[in-house]
Structure 1
Amino acid sequence: MKKIGILGGTFDPPHLGHLLIAEEVREKLDLEEVWFIPSFTPPHKEDLGTTPNDRMNMVKYAISNNPFFKLNTIEIERSGKSYTIDTIKRLKELHPDHDFYFIIGADMVEFLPNWFKIEELVNLVQFVGVKRAGSSLVTDWNVRSIKIPGIDISSTELRKRVKEKQQITYLTTDSVQAYIKENHLYEN
């Protein structure tokens, strides 16, 4: 069985925290690849302000220097609201010889009881919670805990900085910064 990590999200925009999480989990669980899966429309967010194509392109640029990172567009192609259960079921149909590890932050672990069809989902995929200093991964669900170095970066903060014409250097990759600038993202 091929061991594949999955990092899903809006990636609006992708930042170094996403890359660090993916690499730390890949190394610690000896994963063969980590697939970045940008959502078309996440169920918990409304207006993103960027297109799915913009977010897909930014992920492509962000991960381009790591041969273990792959872009998977399954949710972009499906369009509509993206529920993890639908994505995992489809991935398992397409790749029956893969074991999937769904990577989530400690903040998302506490929200697992609210996930759509969580009782079924936990039987289909191994959740991996990334633990940072000061966070806890206390849950009744089967979540494998991985400790990572602390890095406090959020997409929300990056969007705010761009809007306020502040630098985002060292918070995301140079190629993502260039894409944001060339396409005038987050300026309004």
Structure 2
Amino acid sequence: MSVKAKQIGIMGGTFDPIHCGHLLAAEQAREQARLDEVWFMPARIPPHKERAGITAQEHRLRMVELAVADHPSFRVTDVELLREGPSYTYDTMCQLIDTYPDCQFSFIIGGDMVEMLPKWYRISDLIQMVRFIGLARPGSNFDPSAVSSSVTFVEMPTWELSSTLVRERAAAGRSLRYLVPAAVESYIREQGLYESIG
């Protein structure tokens, strides 16, 4: 009898910092797409990010570890942080599939990223390797079926929360309660992260 492959969702991002919107998105994907686990994967050098001064990777990794510590199905992988050069999803997934042959991987992306999929590095190969899970927010202005037939969509509640907002509030000394997990807020304050913004 063949063993059923473990269903793993990969959620990549800069996570500078990780916030409750990321966690909500991961939980929606886990539940609706019937994933066994969601692995959070901080990016080393995201190809599509041009913001200068991205927080040191050890801080971003630690904040993700703190954020997911109380969820039995959430994990953290530092696979992209350990590899040199830009973080291309194709290269990462080749490495993960080779390392974990008993797992079936899905890659979780925001609805706004779905339209950019045709421009991703080696996308034709990538869609043969992994399933894409798109987070469809209410009122999305595109037709999912017209964008990509290789994307499984899950419903995502509308929540206008971003890492930029968290950084700005941290820099202003404002409360981050309910925007990030309590352990992440404590870490940001203890390490003095984002104080020099602006």
Q: Residues 53-102 of structure 1: CA distance to partner in whole angstroms, max 9, x if unpaired?
A: 11000000000110100001100111431000000000110111111110
User: Structure 1, unaligned stretches of length 5 or more?
Assistant: none
Distance 2:84 2:69 in 1: 24
Aligned to 1:22: 26
Distance 1:44 1:115 in 2: 10
Aligned residues, how many? 188
2:8 and 2:104 in contact (8 A); partners too: yes
Aligned to 2:178: 170
- Determine which of 155, 158, 169 is the counterpart of 1:150: 158
SS, match of residue 22 in structure 1 = helix
Distance 1:114 1:48 in 2: 26
- Determine which of 63, 66, 75 is the counterpart of 1:61: 66
1:35 maps to a residue whose letter is W
Identity score, percent: 45
User: Structure 2, unaligned stretches of length 5 or more?
Assistant: none
Distance 1:182 1:141 in 2: 45
- Determine which of 80, 94, 97 is the counterpart of 2:99: 94
Distance 2:156 2:79 in 1: 28
Q: Does 1:77 align with 2:85?
A: no
Residue 27 of structure 1: how far off its partner (Å): 1.1
The TM-score, its normalising length taken from structure 1, stands at: 0.95
2:139 maps to a residue whose letter is G
SS, match of residue 31 in structure 2 = helix
Change (3 A) 1:14 1:171: same
Larger radius of gyration, structure 1 or 2? Answer: 2
1:122 and 1:141 in contact (8 A); partners too: no
Distance 2:54 2:11 in 1: 21
RMSD: 1.2
The TM-score, its normalising length taken from structure 2, stands at: 0.91
Aligned to 1:3: 7
> Which segments of structure 1 move beyond 6 Å, counting only runs of 4 or more?
none
Q: Does 1:50 align with 2:55?
A: yes
SS, match of residue 45 in structure 1 = coil
